[in-house]
Structure 1
Amino acid sequence: MELNFKGKSALITGASKGIGLATAWRFAAEGIEELHLAARSADALHRAQDEIATKHGTRVHVHATDLSVTQNAIDLARACSNADILVNNAADSSPGPLDKMTDADWRASLDMKIFSYVTLTRELYASMKQRGGGVIVNDIGNSGENWDANYIIGSTGNAAMMAFTRAIGGWALDDGIRVVGVNPGPVATDRMVKLMKRRALDWYGDETRWEELFDKYPGKRAAEAGEVADLIVWLASDRAAYITGTIVTIDGGIASRRSII
């Protein structure tokens, strides 16, 4: 299926590993001309840059930055103002229940998950509007629809970003822009293991039992990062030109079952 990325440029945040890195590889495989990869880890970004450029001939630029700092997000948007596609993916919400989360935990998590997404969307939306079009894909998370008191910060931030995505996306086509969201459930990444260990500690009193939690999933496994990347890239393509202001859940039925996150 031709996704028509010839001549296009994409900015992906949280691109040094996991879903962000898988998305970068998928865009490159589909023939995108230029990638901007942003994350905190300069070494991981440079490895990705070299490997992707070598295999696919894609122009890859790296931006090592902490997007929980608003000015850094503004600077990144200005450096990547030519991007036709923005994939907001950088996030790291602290797991745990309300009584275990400090104000500092809330602010650190939401500065990354809400404010980096909002700032980059605002700044790049303006550039896209001026050029006559673009696509913004927000990687959010199914805890925004399958609320979890033991992941209270993540659930709150994800629900907020779902509302944000729908609100902006409902009007964005007036400016030739699409804004969509993706809600993954557990994905086989280092971050998932961290969250699963916390849940195993809450449920079983033993974080080493985290793999037992897969038995509670409808699909009996986590998603692969590449599966989520495939969805993100398709939503960013011309094949999804009539999709905006909506969230696509990719969690193996977890949210629909109202099961474990």
Structure 2
Amino acid sequence: MDLQLKGKFAIITGASKGIGKGVAVALAQEGCDLLLVSRTVTDLDQLASELAAEFAVSVKTMALDLSKSGAAAELLQKAGTPDILVNNAGAIPAGDLQAITEDRWREAWDLKVFGYINLCRAFYAAMQAKKSGVILNVTGLAADRTDADYIAGTTGNAGLNAFTRALGSRSLKDGIRVLAVSPGAVATERLVNLMKTRSQAQFGTEDRWQGFLANLPLARAAEVAEVADVVAFLVSSKASYVSGTVITVDGGHGSNHGSFT
């Protein structure tokens, strides 16, 4: 299917690894020109070179700490108004209410929660001026499958999902679509390494790491590309009537509250 993205300009935050990197690959395959943003460009520059060479698209990079006040306005001023903004930067630490101190909670939310909100505020206004644009927020399944041992992430992702639904509920009148993709467990390099470390500690070998995912649908996490392909479709004109909604990519895990089979 041609997603009609050739020649579109997309900004992807948190693009150096994981889902952000996967989205960059998926959009480059569709012919999008890209600006890849993260706190450092060490990993981004190599990715940009590879994507530009393989798919003949323009790929630029920018180092920017999106947790800082004024960063969203700086990004808009330097990059201009894109056709597509994918908010993906940020990782919220695990821990229960007492384990996550106020400082850690605020630091994590400054990047993922307030970072997303500030970027939406800046870029929505710019897109509104040209009556066109798509904003997609990558959130997470903890928003719905709540977890007391990931309380800052559960609360932050739930807030971003509600924010997305509210903003996107009437954005089409401005020619803009706002939506979210909420992945469950995804086989990013970070997740695989964590599971391998756990396997090594428990069994003396890294080779049994996949056993820790046995409770997931198909006994595995989602592949990065499985999430990135959903993002690519949703930001395309093929999803032109989709706004103010959250699409969950978790193999049904969030809807499975226990069964007899």
Contact 1:81 1:124 in 2 (8 A): no
Partner amino acid for 2:225?
G
Scaled by the length of structure 2, what TM-score is found? 0.91
Using the alignment, how far apart are the partners of 2:192 and 2:39 within structure 1?
20
1:79-125 deviation per Cα after TM superposition (whole angstroms, max 9, x unaligned): 22220100000111011111111111101111111111011111111
Q: Do residues 149 (structure 1) and 115 (structure 2) align?
A: no
Q: Describe the SS at the equivalent of 1:161.
A: helix
Contact 1:6 1:31 in 2 (8 A): yes
Contact 2:87 2:138 in 1 (8 A): yes
- How far did 1:193 drift? 4.5
Moved more, 189-198 or 84-93: 189-198
Quickly say closer, same or farther: Cα 1:197–1:101, change in 2 above 3 A.
farther
Partner of 1:27: 27
Partner amino acid for 1:133?
S
Quickly say closer, same or farther: Cα 1:210–1:154, change in 2 above 3 A.
farther
Using the alignment, how far apart are the partners of 1:258 and 1:21 within structure 2?
31
Partner of 1:256: 255
Using the alignment, how far apart are the partners of 2:59 and 2:122 within structure 1?
21
Quickly say closer, same or farther: Cα 1:194–1:96, change in 2 above 3 A.
farther
Contact 2:210 2:220 in 1 (8 A): no
Q: Describe the SS at the equivalent of 1:216.
A: coil
Partner of 1:183: 182
Q: Do residues 117 (structure 1) and 107 (structure 2) align?
A: no
Using the alignment, how far apart are the partners of 1:120 and 1:49 within structure 2?
22
Partner of 1:67: 66
After TM superposition, the structure 1 = structure 2 runs for residues 1-20 of structure 1, keeping only pairs within 5 Å, are: 1-20=1-20
1:115-168 deviation per Cα after TM superposition (whole angstroms, max 9, x unaligned): 110111111111111111100010000100110111111100000000000000
Contact 2:161 2:246 in 1 (8 A): yes
- How far did 1:191 drift? 3.5
Q: Do residues 240 (structure 1) and 208 (structure 2) align?
A: no
After TM superposition, the structure 1 = structure 2 runs for residues 74-223 of structure 1, keeping only pairs within 5 Å, are: 74-193=73-192, 211-223=210-222
Using the alignment, how far apart are the partners of 1:196 and 1:170 within structure 2?
39
Using the alignment, how far apart are the partners of 1:165 and 1:20 within structure 2?
19
User: Structure 2: any 5+ residue segments left out of the alignment?
Assistant: none
Partner amino acid for 1:180?
L
Using the alignment, how far apart are the partners of 2:113 and 2:218 within structure 1?
29
Identity %: 44
Name the one with the larger helix percent: 1
User: Structure 1: any 5+ residue segments left out of the alignment?
Assistant: none
Using the alignment, how far apart are the partners of 2:29 and 2:189 within structure 1?
24
Using the alignment, how far apart are the partners of 1:228 and 1:66 within structure 2?
25
Using the alignment, how far apart are the partners of 1:2 and 1:190 within structure 2?
29
Aligned residues: 253
Q: Describe the SS at the equivalent of 2:218.
A: coil
Using the alignment, how far apart are the partners of 2:141 and 2:181 within structure 1?
8
Scaled by the length of structure 1, what TM-score is found? 0.91
Contact 1:85 1:135 in 2 (8 A): yes
1:17-48 deviation per Cα after TM superposition (whole angstroms, max 9, x unaligned): 1111111111111112x201001231111001
Using the alignment, how far apart are the partners of 2:257 and 2:138 within structure 1?
20
